Amino acid sequence: MEIPDRVALGQFARERHVHYDVEREVVEGEHREVVGFRVRLFAAHGKSGPGTPMCPKCVELLRELQSFVERLVLPGEAASRTEIVPATPALYESAEDRNEDEVALTVHVRCQSPEHRQPGAGEDLCLRDVRERLEAVGVPRR
C-alpha cells in the first residue's frame, strides 16, 4: 500500500489530533445486512477564542480535512466504494479533550461484494483498505 505524501499526511494528523469513529449501516429485511459504514473523521479546531460555525478557521480546517481524506482514503481499492459526504462547517465539542472543538467529515463506505454483507463479516472486509491507510499515518480510532 503506497501512500503519497505520507509524511505530510501524518504531520497533519498529529497536529490536528485527527481521529475517527465508525458506524454501521444496516438494512433490516428478511436478513439483517450490513450495506456500508460511515467513517467520521474529526480534526481539532482548538479554542483560541469563541469558535462559531462558519468561522474562517473552521471553514479552512474543514477544507484541509477534506483534502487530507481525498489524498489518503480515496486512492486505491476503496476508491470505487467510498464517497465524501458534503459537510457544513460546524464545531463539535471534543469527546477526548474539553479544551478542543472539532470539525467533522463523513466518508461513506459501501459494502458492494456479497462477502462484505455476510453475517459476521464485520468491518474487516469492507473497511480494511480505509482503516489501514488511516492507521499508516497515525490516525487512531476512538
Burial of 3 (C-beta count, 10 Å sphere; 0-12/13-18/19+): middle
CB 87 within 8 A of CB 61: no
| pLDDT score, position 17 | 93
Beta bridge partners of 109: 37, 82
Residue 75 lies in a domain: yes
Between strands 19-27 and 101-110, the pairing is unpaired
Strand partners, 38: 23, 108
Residues in the chain: 142
Specify if 142 maps to a domain: no
Between CA 48 and CA 108 the distance in angstroms is 31
**The pTM is what?**
0.84
How many structural domains are present in the chain? Answer: 1
CA 44/CA 5 separation, integer angstroms: 21
Instruction: Give the sign of the dihedral formed by CA 80, CA 129, CA 35, CA 96.
Output: negative
pLDDT value at residue 123: 64
- Indicate whether 105 belongs to any domain: yes
**pLDDT value of residue 49:** 54
Q: What is the pLDDT of residue 101?
A: 83
Residue 12 is part of which domain span? 6-136
The answer to the question of residue 69 being in a domain is yes
Main-chain phi, psi angles of 43, to 5 degrees: -130, 140
The CATH number assigned to the domain holding 38 equals 3.30.980
Check residue 66 and give its pLDDT.
94
The segments of the chain whose pLDDT lies below 70 read 1, 28, 47-53, 74-80, 113-124
